[in-house]
Amino acid sequence: MRETISSERYITILEQFVSTQLALEDRPRIEWFMQDRARPHCTEKVFRFLDEYFGNRVIALDYLKFTGTGMDWPPYLPDLTPCDYFLWGALKDTVYGNHPSTLDELESTICVACNSISAETLKDVMSNFILRLRHLIFSKGEHLENIVFRLQRLLDLIFLDCL
């Protein structure tokens, strides 16, 4: 999407997401929706839309104040997006390392970079995400500062081998 994301455009994206979810109605609707504090995400129209589809299963800044349900964005909440800890940075390095100078070049470079992600890399991203969630549970939700999960994973494997 080349346009600036407004709350109206964001709702269009959400509608597409929800229509995909509705196509999977053979399973219970138990998912939670979590969004950051970007300005287009925190409007009355967006909150009404989220409330209609997700009800109290939303984690978002000011959502609780607006709807009276859901969960407010906790302070110092570590992002729970698997791609935030490695993949986005690696993609950004690849894309901007090619120095695209036009929007068309940028779009093309992004597509090439995304298509070049190996299955092994995606498995590692998800393994590290699961490990991060385990650390989050162990720390009872406290902020996790500067933990190197690849090293921790290696240490865990060595420890398990020693048992």
Whether the per-residue pLDDT at 76 is higher than 60: the answer is: no
Residue 70 has a CB neighbour count (10 Å cut-off) of 23
Q: Do 108 and 150 belong to one domain? A: yes
Are 9 and 46 in contact, with CB atoms under 8 Å apart?
no
Q: Do 49 and 82 belong to one domain? A: no
pLDDT at 150: 44
Q: Do 131 and 99 belong to one domain? A: yes
* Of 73, 92, 123, the domain-final residue: 73
The total domain count for the chain is 2
Are 56 and 69 in contact, with CB atoms under 8 Å apart?
yes
Q: Do 69 and 87 belong to one domain? A: no
Q: pLDDT tens digits for 78-134?
A: 556 667 667 888 888 889 998 999 989 998 999 999 899 889 888 888 888 788 777
Question: What mean pLDDT is reported for the chain?
Answer: 77
Q: Do 63 and 102 belong to one domain? A: no
Domain boundaries, position 154: 76-162
Q: Span 34-39, mean pLDDT?
A: 78
